[in-house]
Structure 1
Amino acid sequence: MTTLDRVLETVLARNPGEPEFHQAVREVVDSLKSVVARRPEYLEVFERLCEPERQIIFRVPWVDDAGRVRINRGFRVQYNSALGPYKGGLRFHPSVNLGIVKFLGFEQIFKNALTGMPIGGGKGGADFDPRGRSDAEVMRFCQSFMMELANHIGQYTDVPAGDIGVGGREIGYLFGQYRRITNAYESGVLTGKGLTWGGSRARTEATGYGAVLFAAEMLRTRGEDLDGRRVSVSGSGNVAIYAIEKAQQLGAHVVTFSDSSGYVVDQAGVDLALLQDVKERQRGRVADYVARRPGARLVTDGSVWSVPCDVALPCATQNELDAVAAVRLIKGGVRAVAEGANMPCTPHAVEEFRDAGVLFGPGKAANAGGVATSALEMQQNASRDSWSFEYTVERLTDVMTRIHANCLETAEEFGDPGNYVLGANIAGFTRVADAMLAQGVI
């Protein structure tokens, strides 16, 4: 047993009942064995890095429209600040628990490091489900949530953003309450804000755009591009919608999207304007798209990954694409997979893709566009500036191109060309580890 394996054993024993967190740590351990062999001092740093700097759990009481008092649980895991203030989204979903928040925060450390920007890793959220709740109920929940969270965040301390269940509406309510509590207009404390009050153009689009840009970079290594490619996307939230938009801009033919009720197959190509109307303006379900789109069909059982495609963009949630689905995609001719969500592919699915020679972009690299643009929003807030959409997308494109090159070069340096998982893990880890070593035992 290697010493890294012993660290893994300790982490698993210290954090029981947290399978998603275990999965994330195990993947990084598998990648770091070669770099620790070269730099033994990294072993102790990795052991420290696996333990969050701070874990905050709190009660969130709020009153629903019927006057009933409801109770939810809030979380913020401030994982690592060696490179800068903690940075990572808030997720409002019934599945949220400490293990999931730790998994997301752990991934965020490496993702943020890969952007090359001065931001550490953190994550948070609550087991609150905004779906089906009135605007007034969502506002009351967000205000109660911020009453506690405000004690732990700040533009130089911890800068949350949105994630699943937390969009512009929720960020607005959270920011308004933070202003009331602090009596200050600290615009850099949250990202994903509205354009008229400190938000960044292209932030809404950034995660989905970035995943597609990363996929395009991977294809370019084989002399290919997205033009004319058949693309399958899972999810129908913010990331999925703008992955569809960018893929279509690059000439791809996108045929699927999904939500928890099933998936839509639109062989004529997804009508993006209709999908945006259904999901963003009406807060509807994918069935509402099918009802208004001749030729589209809704499948309520099975997997969206049963639809053959050239490029797969999983943009829904963790572990949505397993080994069975991966084999099915491989048989259907998939050429590249880029994770728009956080860890949507299971470890066995990743193995299948790697063994079949399918290009695979892990989420910590492929979906880093969102947090990169959040960091650009922080830059604009600090300078009281506002950039054009075109300039922001240009900066985003540059970041994604550099992340791809860094992952590719690192994988080649450590003897496994084309292994983006290895490249992303080592490149992200070494940047954080060097900062931790320089700053002493912290």
Structure 2
Amino acid sequence: MVEMFHHRGLDPVHWPLSIVFDEDACTDEAGVLAALQGLADRHDVLTAVFEDVGDTFDHADPDTFPRQIVHRGADVRPLTIEVNSVDAPLTGEGVLGLTQSEFVRRRQAFMPLLINRGGRWSGGAVVSHLAVDGSGLELLHDEFRELLAGRTPRPRAAQITEVLKAERSLEFAQAEKENLAVVQRMLGEAAGTNLRKDPTDAATFGVVESAEHARSLARLHSALRVSKPGISLVVYAILLSVELSTRQVVVRSQHRRPSPVPGAVSVVANSPFAFTSVTIDPHLTFRDLVVREYAKLVEGYRASLFSPYGYERVKRAVAAERGIEEINGVPEFNYLLKAGPRRARAKVIAASRVERSWYEVVDGIQPNSRGNLSIFEETDHDVLQLFGTAWRESSDSFEVIRTFNRFCAVAATDVDQRVGDILDRARHAYRRHPVSPSLP
């Protein structure tokens, strides 16, 4: 048994992620079970069980966080879900609703699922966000398909002991020290802008699901030769600067970093947060602004590439000098690609016609935050459970979410327009054709 190293400040059983690995299903129950076992055999973090800390758990006290005990080589114990027919829909949030009580009872980091769709079988899983994060879930998704086809995934999977050794190295410690200096500089630059807000304000979370947005980003990527997540982050910063009436904002965004173990992959929940300082000039063309600010974005991502900048770790490292509240005040941006091969993603996106915006004001969660936005390339993500709360309807919305899709669509027509002109046209387009925030 190996004690897990990443003690995070969240209750593990109330922050799960869920996935159906093979949506098309197959007839071989034994093959599905073998593929699930293969995942656990490759990634020993999937055999972890959270210790029961009872009433002693305290979010403010890291010493009370539950440990994860790894049982390497253990047989998986899947939960079987019976679905009436092969055509019956089963979304991620549907899986979570059916399985969360059992997930809480078991306290496993990884609860494999056998899904019987009228005699055809699928594999799935519910995992703790503290053991496996979103990028790790995508890796499991791809590896499951390889195992189901009888192939051995490559490269090999890193064991927890290897990750521990890498994170305790002198090289790792030096990189983390240098990266913290970059983060502290960016926080200092933003001290008078988006960080110092009324601490009694509720947090605002937003989600944009839009196939049209993905198509707009593809056109922008072709014109600018900058990554789609990078372009989206700059657009988010532009709209956030208008909301906050400031020319400079600092944004944190989660990204996928390579495994700390060379030549190996890892699903361990360790995706870092990069911090990016963006300065907005509405008189610049969109092309010039994106190219200029993208260099800063790359600096922020490079600063967190080697160090495991999970959000809880950043809070602990900076809290003594800057304060946890100030870290909480940094708006969060995420761009989530559809899992699977690139051509398959493009085909699904091209066929989709849904465009929606969602937002939620949440009391008691990150009270200094001015807006947290996630962008989805298509519409099958578990938005209803994204932050552990149900999204609700409203005819009004956070300014960033109201205009995000429209801004990208207008910019895609001509990247040499001035930023201020694009913003005006995006607002006009939204007034004529509002994005519906209604639930599906």
In terms of Rg, which structure is larger?
2
* TM-score of the superposed pair, with normalisation by structure 2: 0.31
* TM-score of the superposed pair, with normalisation by structure 1: 0.31
Indicate the structure whose relative CO is greater, using CA pairs within 8 Å and at least 6 residues apart. 2
